[in-house]
Amino acid sequence: MNLIKRRWPWISVAVLVVIVMLGFLAYRALDRAEKEFKESKWVRTSSGTVLSKELFRCHEPTCVYIGYGGRMEMKSGESQQRVYFQIDNFDQVSEPRRAKALQVEKDLVRMYGPRSTYAVDWYDRVEPGAKLYVRYQCFSDGRIEIVGIDADPSPVSKAKSNKALQLTAR
């Protein structure tokens, strides 16, 4: 009994130290997860370059094409004004994520071809070689999700960009 009375304060201190250490490790893990989440939700802006553009018209009963968004279908007679582009860089993304994004983008371009967008009001104003403003999110696995594309940083597109940033920040 006397032995337990002498060791009780030391056992209590050891248990308290272990609890504090576990609390600190849990705090660090949650803080890291929160930063990762916020970095995935940030909308970044980069430049893009128009590679080509075309008026694509479906001449078959159903035209199926696979793009970055998955399987898409068009009915006979429908048309799209497609603008093909590439994102110039991912300099806004921190290094471990940037390397993943570059590799994923390279693989997707090899599988599906260059990125494209359609139904834009600036189709007639751009030519191959023109610069675009691409807003995107970069996730931890390197996947890129396009939030918006503009041909020029007009006040309207800046307002849209700011609104998207405000909505994403919430």
> What values do phi and psi take at 139, rounded to 5?
-90, 165
Q: Work out the average pLDDT over 154-158.
A: 49
Q: Work out the average pLDDT over 51-55.
A: 91
0.75 surpassed by pTM: no
Instruction: Convert the pLDDT of each residue in 128-143 to its tens digit.
Output: 999 999 999 988 888 8
Instruction: Judge whether 68 and 115 are in contact, CB under 8 Å.
Output: yes
Instruction: Convert the pLDDT of each residue in 84-110 to its tens digit.
Output: 899 999 888 888 889 999 999 898 888
Q: Work out the average pLDDT over 59-68.
A: 77
pLDDT at residue 4, rounded to an integer: 64
Q: Name the more confident of 155 and 66.
A: 66
The residues spanned by each domain of the chain are 1-41, 42-54+81-169
Q: How far apart are CA 107 and CA 37, in angstroms?
A: 24
pLDDT band for 170, please (50, 70, 90 cuts).
very low
Q: Which residues contact 151 (CB under 8 A, 6 or more apart)?
A: 120, 122, 125, 126, 130, 132, 133
Strand ranges inside 58-130, DSSP E: 62-67, 70-75, 79-87, 115-118
Look over the chain and give the mean of its residue pLDDT values, rounded to a whole number.
Answer: 82
Q: Locate tokens 């929160």: which residue?
A: 34
Instruction: Judge whether 131 and 148 are in contact, CB under 8 Å.
Output: no
Q: Is the dihedral of CA 96, 97, 100, 106 positive or negative?
A: negative
pLDDT at residue 69, rounded to an integer: 62
Where is 16: in which H helix or E strand? helix 2-41
Distance set, CA 109 to CA 3, 40, 52, 154 (Å): 72, 22, 15, 29
pLDDT at residue 165, rounded to an integer: 40
Ordered strands of the 44-57 beta sheet: 115-118, 79-87, 44-57, 131-138, 144-150
